[in-house]
Amino acid sequence: MPTDVIMPQMGESIFEGAITKWLKQPGDSVLKDEPLLEISTDKVDAEIPAPAAGILVEIKVPEGATVGVNTVLAVIDSAVTPAARVPAAAIPAPKAAPESAPAAPQQPKLASSASLPSAQEPAPAVQPARRIRSSPLVRRIAKEKNVDLALVPGTGSDGRITKEDILRYLAQPRAATPAARAVAPSAPAQQPVAPAAPLPAEPVPLTRMRAIIAQRMVESVQISPHVHTVYKADMTRIVRLRERVKGSFEQRHGVRLTYMPFIATAAIQALRRFPIVNASLVDGPQGQSILYHPAIHLGIAVALDWGLIVPVVRNADQLGFPQLARAIADLAARARAKKLSPDEVGSSTFTLTNSGIFGEEFGTPIINQPDSAILAIGSLAKQPAVVTDTEGNDSIAIRSVQYFCLGFDHRTIDGADAGRFMTAFKTSLETWDLPID
């Protein structure tokens, strides 16, 4: 019996989505809950599982199309089970043997191994079986340049092929054919000195996620009068604590101890003291008013190979340090793997963005609406500093220093509010005395 695959309702405010990639093609066997296609919505990119096992008999909506929720995307014949399909699926396999070894059909094993350039070459025979992860931009470039993505090494999350990967591949002369790829084992050593990757000759259309990001950033700047204030925090105490306990922390709690949970905890402590920074400006019957959120929903900006997304730690103020560390790491990992659910994206009350991982001292972030503030985390570096001992004597010492920039909506948050919040945040980091176990 036929089973329809429909565009799901990915959150209450989501009314449409774009098909970014079909992971199966008509005639393919599918298992129930096996990833069937990738979609992109206003809030999240996600893999959609098959609603039933069977054979994918028809795709009704092509890649790149945008449709409303509940639209029928494909049809699965669930009366034909994947198990029953196996004998038929094996039929085309013998056709590959004459192509690889037409002169010796009576010795298929010897012929297939003799056709390989080296003992390391069986990998390409397995390569097509793996699911290739890539962005719509990468697939568009591959189509225009007639590139088999199975031959392009991916450096992104879970082997995802990034734009830089395919441009680097195109820049290598030996990447023109699979045969050239097997020549010169020392070739990988030449990659660092390869010529600059060529840029696309034609304008590249924005992906859906990039277009949404552009729209949201313009809207935020138009809505909120942005003000930024930068503070420098001495992180030496935390750096020493982390170095001392990071091994045992990971053993006990199953997650790497990064600096993010320290920063998130300090922000939560300051938000509790100054709730105006956790508030939002809302429209109502009597005009605009300030909504003080009873809980702290902490947005964590995550940079992806194909854009930016802000998953949210719900009720972050109710979590202990280990639970907060696990929640942040889990959300970031699932964001990169497209495993987030719609309710894990959006509706934050305060956002952290770690632009310092790229080496910048600090950035001036754009507010993630409808928040009233966002905190940008700069890079951590050692600097000489003047320190004063308990007797008032000054000396020069090497300290671990980090810059933090608070971007805030001046309609709701005054400079004094921002200053008090940042002072509390900075003090919490510099005099850290909270338990982490």
Catalytic residue among 297, 410, 417, 433: 410
Placement of tokens 């470039």 in the chain: 141
Placement of tokens 């298992």 in the chain: 31
The answer to whether 321 and 435 have CB atoms below 8 angstroms apart is yes
Placement of tokens 């092509």 in the chain: 62
Look at the alpha carbons of 210, 215, 219, 225 in this order and tell me if their dihedral is positive or negative: positive
Catalytic residue among 414, 417, 433, 437: 414
DSSP secondary-structure letter at 93? Answer: G
Helices (DSSP H) in 12-90: which residue ranges?
82-89
Count of Cβ atoms closer than 10 Å to residue 147 Cβ: 19
The rounded distance, in Å, linking the Cα atoms of 237 and 300 is 24
Establish whether 410 is a catalytic residue. yes
For 270-372, list the strands marked E by DSSP.
280-284, 287-291, 298-300, 302-304, 307-309, 312-313, 350-353
The answer to whether 196 and 171 have CB atoms below 8 angstroms apart is yes
Question: Per DSSP, what are the bridge partners of residue 67?
Answer: 17
Give CA 249 to chain center in angstroms.
25
The answer to whether 368 and 350 have CB atoms below 8 angstroms apart is no
> Is residue 394 within a helix (H) or strand (E), and if so which, with residue range?
strand 394-409
Q: Which of helix, strand or coil describes residue 243?
A: helix
The residues carrying an active-site annotation are 410, 414
